[in-house]
Structure 1
Amino acid sequence: MAKSGLTRTCLLSLFVLLFVKFCVSDTSLLNRKAAPAGNNQEASGDDSRYVIVFDAGPAIGVRIFKFDENGKVLRINGGLEVFHVVPEALSSYVENPAAVASVLAQLLEKALDAVPSHLQPETPVIFGANDELFLMAEDKYEKILGVIRDFLSKSPLLYKPEWVNILPAAKEGAYVWDTINYLMGNLVGDYSNTVAVLTQESASMQVAYAVSVKAAANAPKFPNGEEYITAHQIQSNNYYLYSHGYFPYGAYSVRTEILKYTNDSYSYCVTSGYDEQLNYYGEIYNVRASPTGSSYEKCRANVLKALNVNATCYVHNCTFDGAWNGGGGAGIEKIYLTNGFHNTGADVSIVNGSNTSTDLKILEYEKVAKVSCAAKSPEEAHNLFPGVPLFELPYLCMDLVYIYAVLVDGFGIDPTKVVTAINAVQYGGTSMDVQWAFGAALELVSSKHTKIWDVPNVFSS
């Protein structure tokens, strides 16, 4: 008994000695666990969540974002995002879809460098293609998307086949709304604190704004089952968002719609002296100026026909092409114009391109449209608007008339209303370009689902 008690005492003493020695020798480990987590914490146990978004518009790019466990954006490599781009359009791979994998490999390598290796398996990767791809034959764009799905399925990232798709225009508009309102700090209370967003992309135009709970509950039903209003959760804030995409009414595709009203020979919207052909996704259009030159009034008449302002409206309060306007309300009192609206304004100097945003009256677009349409040649147009790229000059009268007409005649906005043209948002001492990718990432990490991989199709309308 004495020997047994002694043995137990010795073993206990030895255990205590070893335990103390372990604790003393590994105080750094204990200190790391006790220390508060910083924004750039990347050790095991890091609660940060990364999202990688491939954005295929006019170019193919990848954006990497970092959030905390509550969905707040964190700095990554000193900025709000890591961004890499290859100046090639996804549509350029239509004849050789397999070749797009090499471009993705370049971008994916850079993306993985920004994400800690132990977090990569739970980092979702999204690929959204601009809806301009819808202008291709379905079998052609599906082959490209198939290559992309196959490539990303072999990456170390969290992947779902449905996360690779052509982005619906209405969803893109909603994501841009998310981006602007989150970065401006508007998503902290009532929907009336938010701003409306009108976005002009290459193939489509989008509008998005928040509505009241009552307006959402009373939204009309439509024969085709289209849902204009969807519930949105950003962090712990809930909103009902009206969003709609107008296809093909984007900056480039709408030109072909307007050119259909050319009297089979010329257009009053084309800058005087121009005579060429436009090949847009296999369709050939004559881009020929009228012998008497471009005309603001005659061009506007053609633009209104292209807008289909007299289309059948199944409910009260339509905009154009038979689309419901959402009913209005406090969420559309402040209007922000992005992308094509901003860029065209900057080209003709009614928007200050040196600033991230400019307040202006809509009628400013009409004023420069009348000047542009009165130009007697592309050379004169260039002298009047030296900031406009030369390849855009033949369409300048058309583009400006369209912007004014769609805002005033299409959306019914008072031409004297002051709106804000914006291309970037200031946040925490830095800025982020206005784009849909951040909104998509933000919605993903704001989901009520506890795990990102439980989130349904992020591209659903």
Structure 2
Amino acid sequence: MKVPKLAVVFLLAGCVVLYLTYIKRRNDNRNTLVSMPVLEYLERADHQKGPTTAEVPGQSFQYGIMFDAGSTGTRIHVFQFKLEPNAAPKLTHETFRAIKPGLSAYADDPDKGGAGLLQLLEVAKTTVPAALWGSTPLALRATAGLRLLPGEKATRLLDKVREVFGTSPFLHGPDSVKIMDGTDEGVFAWITVNFLLGSLPGSEIPTVGMLDLGGGSTQITFSPQDEKTIQMSPFDYVKSFQMGWDLKHSHLGHVVLSSEVFLGYFLEGSHELMSPCLAPDYAGQWEHAEVIYMLKGQKAGEPMYESCLSKVEKLIYKKVQKVEEGMEFYAFSYYYDRAVDLGLVDGNTGGSIRLSNYVEGAKTVCRNMEAGSGDNPFLCLDLTYISVLLQELGFPQDKEFKLARTINDVETSWALGATFYYIESLLLH
């Protein structure tokens, strides 16, 4: 199984404010673009002039609908933006709902997956004013779950999504449904976080970096402050955005959920795996890319933390480009969940954690699991993986990370950033 490279995403050249401009397109920004756009333009089947707005006395609003078809669930985000003359849009409300399992779970029965989408579309109908349904952009972006499926099965699922969207009253087109790669996922999440903090380039607040470790991909995204960082980064990491952003990106789709396979010992002629990161008494099944593996723990009597650490270090060694930047970083998903498991941050409000906390937590959990797997058999692996990954990225032991599920009551996912680009593509047409 091929392990992709770990991503390091850099926002290059450009202190351009990320404003959705509803007045005109800044054509001079095009001169700074590299040849590869991150998000293709939406072609609208109905050839409307673009999204319209809802008028309230003294106020205008625009809506956008984004489906996040992830590996563990399907989520709908309905965003309401307040528009003001000569100013950036302001997010005034988000409606969010989620269903489980993820769309990829219906690879053999796409109709059942379509039924879940219809359920979520009803949420959009009750949120968006009926007069604006036909001009409210609707899109679905699938992530790791569908990226791991065989091509034919993924195509059937996406065709079912397009069929469901075809019955909806919202604005959509041929490119409104697609699988999103890890590059887009990391960059759009970075935009979301900095938008919610009010720290996009051009503001007086410094931008923050973003670390995300999810069910099928991992990203690190930041705007480099040191010219040396830009000069030493591989040329093929450069990506281009159609809103005047040049970005530097490398991506590793090799994550905690996938690493359970890579950290196991393949037994010849079978799908049995033995891992030093699992407790001696553990035995269970694990499914990855539609293959079911039988997992077993290490031999009793071997030091669990040291054995797991050695395996993880060999796995990650020299696969990561170091980050030599002193900015503040926010961390999400698995970083957050494992800190909650350790009791170091509140599960609802989040908090801060140091890299050393992950390291010490891994040691304690792994050594305690030598006597039994407990409630979370993968906790030793997860914490060891996180602590090694952060150190390989070049972070010192005393580096502090901010952990948050939401910022200003808005989920810190890529969905908001992706919606910005989606609406912008409509305006350009």
Give the one of 297, 305, 308 matched to 2:314. 305
Match of 1:154 in 2: 167
Tell me if the contact between 1:199 and 1:337 (Cα under 8 Å) persists in the aligned partners. yes
The one-letter amino acid of 1:64's match is V
Deviations 1:380-408 (A, max 9, x none): x64xxxxxxx2xx2111111100000110
Match of 2:264 in 1: 259
Please report how far the alpha carbon of residue 178 of structure 1 lies from its aligned counterpart in structure 2 after TM superposition.
1.1
CA–CA distance in structure 2, aligned partners of residues 176 and 291 of structure 1? 42
Instruction: Output aligned runs, 1:75-86, within 5 Å.
Output: 75=92, 80-86=93-99
Instruction: Output aligned runs, 1:193-342, within 5 Å.
Output: 193-211=206-224, 218=231, 222=235, 226-231=236-241, 233=243, 240-247=246-253, 249-260=254-265, 266-280=274-288, 281-293=290-302, 295-307=304-316, 309-310=317-318, 319=320, 324=321, 328-329=324-325, 333-342=327-336
Closer, same or farther in 2 for the Cα pair 1:200/1:220, shift >3 Å? closer
Please report how far the alpha carbon of residue 160 of structure 1 lies from its aligned counterpart in structure 2 after TM superposition.
2.2
Match of 1:8 in 2: none
Give the one of 337, 345, 356 matched to 1:351. 345
Deviations 1:208-234 (A, max 9, x none): 111369679857555xxx44343474x
CA–CA distance in structure 1, aligned partners of residues 149 and 126 of structure 2? 34
Tell me if the contact between 2:264 and 2:273 (Cα under 8 Å) persists in the aligned partners. no
Larger Rg: 1
Closer, same or farther in 2 for the Cα pair 1:240/1:194, shift >3 Å? farther
RMSD, aligned CA: 3.0
Give unpaired runs (5+ residues) of structure 2. Answer: 1-52
Give the one of 41, 55, 62 matched to 2:68. 55
Tell me if the contact between 1:278 and 1:287 (Cα under 8 Å) persists in the aligned partners. no
Match of 2:9 in 1: none
CA–CA distance in structure 1, aligned partners of residues 168 and 226 of structure 2? 42
Closer, same or farther in 2 for the Cα pair 1:268/1:191, shift >3 Å? farther
Equivalent pairs, count: 369
Tell me if the contact between 2:324 and 2:394 (Cα under 8 Å) persists in the aligned partners. no
Identity of aligned residues (%): 24
Indicate the SS of the match to 1:142. helix
Match of 1:405 in 2: 388
Structure number with higher helix proportion: 1
Closer, same or farther in 2 for the Cα pair 1:416/1:46, shift >3 Å? closer
Deviations 1:113-141 (A, max 9, x none): 21122222221111011223222111111
Is 1:422 matched with 2:404? yes
Please report how far the alpha carbon of residue 260 of structure 1 lies from its aligned counterpart in structure 2 after TM superposition.
4.2
Deviations 1:338-397 (A, max 9, x none): 111111111111223242x32221011111111111125565x64xxxxxxx2xx21111
Residues 40-49 or 96-105, more deviating: 40-49
Indicate the SS of the match to 2:368. coil
Match of 1:370 in 2: 363
Tell me if the contact between 2:208 and 2:329 (Cα under 8 Å) persists in the aligned partners. yes
Normalising by structure 1, we get a TM-score of 0.72
Tell me if the contact between 2:283 and 2:294 (Cα under 8 Å) persists in the aligned partners. no
The one-letter amino acid of 1:252's match is L
Give the one of 95, 101, 109 matched to 2:122. 109
Indicate the SS of the match to 2:200. coil
Is 1:441 matched with 2:411? no
Deviations 1:56-79 (A, max 9, x none): 12111211001133552342xxxx
Indicate the SS of the match to 1:208. strand
Closer, same or farther in 2 for the Cα pair 1:310/1:376, shift >3 Å? closer
Instruction: Output aligned runs, 1:63-142, within 5 Å.
Output: 63-69=77-83, 70-75=87-92, 80-142=93-155
Deviations 1:71-105 (A, max 9, x none): 52342xxxx30112222221221111122222111
Deviations 1:211-268 (A, max 9, x none): 369679857555xxx44343474xxxx6544344311x22311222222478986322
Normalising by structure 2, we get a TM-score of 0.77
The one-letter amino acid of 2:415's match is A
Tell me if the contact between 1:273 and 1:293 (Cα under 8 Å) persists in the aligned partners. no
Give unpaired runs (5+ residues) of structure 1. Answer: 1-39, 312-318, 383-389, 455-461
Closer, same or farther in 2 for the Cα pair 1:46/1:104, shift >3 Å? farther
Closer, same or farther in 2 for the Cα pair 1:412/1:261, shift >3 Å? farther
Tell me if the contact between 2:141 and 2:180 (Cα under 8 Å) persists in the aligned partners. yes
CA–CA distance in structure 2, aligned partners of residues 341 and 406 of structure 1? 11
The one-letter amino acid of 1:55's match is D
Which structure carries more relative contact order (alpha carbon 8 Å, separation 6+)?
Answer: 2
Please report how far the alpha carbon of residue 190 of structure 1 lies from its aligned counterpart in structure 2 after TM superposition.
6.1
Closer, same or farther in 2 for the Cα pair 1:85/1:277, shift >3 Å? closer
Give the one of 370, 378, 385 matched to 1:395. 378
CA–CA distance in structure 2, aligned partners of residues 199 and 154 of structure 1? 34
